[in-house]
Amino acid sequence: MKTKLAAIAMIAAASAATAAPEVYTMDPSHSQVAFSYGHGDFSTTYWILSGFEGEIVFDAQNPAASRVTTSIPVERLLTGWQERSDHVLKSGDFFDVEANPTVRFESTGIEVTGDKTALISGDVTINGVTVPVVLDAHMTAMTDQYPLPPFSGKPAIGVSATTTLLRSDFDLGMFAPFVSDQVEVEISIEAMQLQ
């Protein structure tokens, strides 16, 4: 009997060790990238990108082998003020939306720093310029049964991350330094297994 139990345990352990990474698709209704920057010493301005999709391939057995990709239409950028949005998206002073319609991120490596934390290295492409970045990431939630429609019962994960970008790296540096070149980025993602 002990031999049989040991064999079952070994099979289960082998199956877990060779479990395939799971693919999670970002939920566009609950995934956002928020940007904040200083307007002189007077105020902090906030922009947001939402309504996008992407993919997280999560390897629970070897989290460092996981990867993340996303592509976000620039036209979905919300600045909170129509005149500012028109200037940023249509004037040509900042984004060239016709030539470079998306913001893209693709991970290149992951350093696991804790049970639920990691540094995600990757390349971000904005305005046709690709720059390496590091995201300070935290897994905020993981469940086998998402509780609400339209993803009821689906396995799901939540991830948050922060990083800092320089506008000038992406040919977006107009009005610096009064409008700060440094932009703080906060990312919040929900993603589900849809298969």
Share of the chain above pLDDT 70, in %: 91
Distance CA(25)–CA(189), nearest Å, equals: 10
Name the band, by pLDDT with cuts 50, 70 and 90, for residue 37: very high
Q: Is the model's pLDDT at 44 over the cut of 80? A: yes
Fold for the domain defined by 20-192: Lipocalin (2.40.128)
Is residue 110 a contact partner of residue 140, using CB atoms and an 8 Å limit? no
Tell me the CB-side half-sphere exposure of residue 145, using CA atoms within 13 A: 1
Per-residue pLDDT of 137-147, as tens digits, reads 999 999 999 99
Structure tokens at 189: 């993602």
Amino acid, single-letter form, for residue 101: P
Mean local confidence (pLDDT), 145-158? 96
Domain residue spans of the chain: 20-192
pLDDT digits (tens, 9 = 90+) for 73-105: 999 999 999 999 999 999 999 999 999 999 999
Nearest one of 159, 157, 143 to 192, comparing CA atoms? 157
For the chain, the average pLDDT equals: 92
Question: Does the structure show a pLDDT above 80 at 181?
Answer: yes
| H or E element that contains 124 | strand 117-126
Return the structure tokens found at 79: 């600045």
In the predicted structure, residue 108 carries a pLDDT above the cut 90: yes
Task: Write out pLDDT tens, residues 50-69.
Answer: 999 999 999 999 999 999 99
Enclosing H/E stretch for 2 = helix 2-17
